[in-house]
């Protein structure tokens, strides 16, 4: 699969990083774009920068380059994931604002009817946040809040992270063994 992955400035950059690791290991082509605040959060929370993300990405795009391949509907992609998705990014997508490459690529997914998965990471949520999520869900966006389950009894933070990344993979139709399935 050819998948666009965006990392924005919400806490939870580890979800985007881990998703890139999983997609790379599975042999998927990734087109990655990180917002300015996304780079700051990656550095603060994960102690990583451009070099590490470049090694995980098939192609790393600059957020200001709105003429990049992923800004066009004629560039075929199967899906886009924004993990984590800041409320600014979520609100901008809901309002149809596309003034950087993350937003333009998301706009392309919407207009082309392609799969868009967002992983909002904020708490508490205001009525504005909820209304924006509802608006996007009604447009077909898969809203996957960073709310991991614990039924698999994780023993480490990595297992909690893998639970969320596994749910993202489920939304994309990508097989994985990131967490044990509920057996009842």
What tokens appear for 129 in the block? 């946040």
What tokens appear for 18 in the block? 């881990």
Domains and CATH numbers, the chain: 2-172 (3.40.50.1950)
Q: Give the pLDDT of residue 183.
A: 85
Q: Give the pLDDT of residue 86.
A: 98
CB atoms within 10 A of CB 10: 26
Task: Kindly report the pTM of this predicted structure.
Answer: 0.96
Contact 5, 41 (CB under 8 A): no
Question: pLDDT by residue (tens digit) across 105-155?
Answer: 999 999 999 999 999 999 999 999 999 999 999 999 999 999 988 988 999
Task: Write out residues in the chain with pLDDT < 50, as ranges.
Answer: none
Buried b (16+ CB within 10 A) or exposed e, 79-110: bbbbbbbbbebbbbbbeeebebbbbbbbbbbb
């Amino acid at each position: 699969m050819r998948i666009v992955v965006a990392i924005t400035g919400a806490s939870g950059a580890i979800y985007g990083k881990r998703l890139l690791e999983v997609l790379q290991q599975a042999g998927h082509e990734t087109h990655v774009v990180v917002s300015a605040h996304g780079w700051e959060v990656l550095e603060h929370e994960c102690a990583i920068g451009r070099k590490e993300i470049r090694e995980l990405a098939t192609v790393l795009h600059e957020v200001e380059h709105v003429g990049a391949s992923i800004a066009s509907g004629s560039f075929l992609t199967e899906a886009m994931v924004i993990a984590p998705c800041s409320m600014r990014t979520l609100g901008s997508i809901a309002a149809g604002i596309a003034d950087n490459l993350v937003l333009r690529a998301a706009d392309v997914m919407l207009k082309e009817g392609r799969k868009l998965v967002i992983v909002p990471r904020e708490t508490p949520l205001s009525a504005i946040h909820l209304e924006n999520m509802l608006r996007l869900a009604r447009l077909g966006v898969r809203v996957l809040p960073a709310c991991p389950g614990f039924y698999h009894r994780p023993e480490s933070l990595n297992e909690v992270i893998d639970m969320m990344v596994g749910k993202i993979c489920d939304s994309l139709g990508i097989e994985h063994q990131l967490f044990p399935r509920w057996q009842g």
